[in-house]
Amino acid sequence: MTYDTIKVERRGAVTLVTFDRPKALNALSSAVLADLTEAFAACDADDSQRCLVLTGSEKAFAAGADIKEMAPQSFGDMYGSNFFAGWEAVTRTRKPWIAAVAGYALGGGCEVAMMADILIAADTAVFGQPEIKLGVIPGMGGSQRLTHAIGKAKAMEMILTGRNMKAAEAEASGLVAKVVPADSLIDEAMKMAETIAAMPPLAAMAAKEAVNGTYEMTLAQGINFERRVFHGLFGTEDQKEGMAAFSEKRAGDFKGR
């Protein structure tokens, strides 16, 4: 399958998706959203695929929602079309996915990166929510996810002043899992994705569901949910295989059943 605004490559059990609008610094137009949701859904539906990596170019992961597309819109246009609601489909991806960010991840670019299960940054990465300078606010979850990730103090400062955050500060603040040299970003992201892809896939999907539950549930609900999911995994063949492999001192061979 080929797309106009992204490149999609299957590398073993990992789907590598690369934003491909270099002239617009990968600005996230409606066409990008349509391509991305299709590629993510295809990965979710393909049993041979167990993890996904989303990346951009050296200069920009994505410099935001497409300002040129948004500029002429009225309130009625935005409200009527529920603009940006389509991005929720990306957050419903069931398989684990990693955002590998080099260069600018601004506005919607930062927000898409924060939708990922794991965020890895090149040392060149720059994160920011500069929407206020355009007379708007984050519209793809930034006010919520950035605050969850780095706390109110820094999130409020960034969103009100529009200042950017470089990779080292992003790592120190808990926004990213890891910072790596720019020239090894894809290798590092693929290595992590391959590690995840070798795990029992049902357990991997369940684990991300449980972690993401933190955002939606009280502590007691979350712990109960975790325990029920843990119990449920004893109904899988992969649990038998994983525990047998441990006893037999060999690597598990997981089938996703």
* Interface contacts to ligand HXC, rule CB under 6 A: 24-25, 27, 63-68, 104, 106-108, 130-131, 134, 136, 138-140
Beta-strand relationship, 178-180 and 118-122:
parallel
- For the CB of residue 93, give the shortest distance to ligand HXC in the complex, in Å: 20
Q: Is 13 or 65 the residue whose CB approaches ligand HXC more closely?
A: 65
Give catalytic status of residue 58 as yes or no: no
- For the CB of residue 166, give the shortest distance to ligand HXC in the complex, in Å: 13
The residue from 65, 122, 193, 210 that is catalytic is 65
* Residue 66 and residue 29 in contact, taking contact as beta carbons nearer than 8 Å: yes
- For the CB of residue 22, give the shortest distance to ligand HXC in the complex, in Å: 9
d(C-alpha 181, C-alpha 252), whole Å: 32
- For the CB of residue 13, give the shortest distance to ligand HXC in the complex, in Å: 32
Give catalytic status of residue 131 as yes or no: yes
From residue 204, alpha-carbon distances to 37, 81, 92, 94, 147 in Å are: 21, 34, 15, 9, 25
Q: Which of 29, 12, 13 is nearest to 4 (CA)?
A: 29
Could you give the angle at which helices 142-150 and 152-161 cross, rounded to 10 degrees?
140
Give catalytic status of residue 108 as yes or no: yes
Give catalytic status of residue 111 as yes or no: yes
Q: Is 15 or 29 the residue whose CB approaches ligand HXC more closely?
A: 29
Extract the tokens encoding 40.
């993510």
Q: Is 110 or 197 the residue whose CB approaches ligand HXC more closely?
A: 110
Extract the tokens encoding 251.
């690597």
Residues with a catalytic annotation lie at: 65, 108, 111, 131
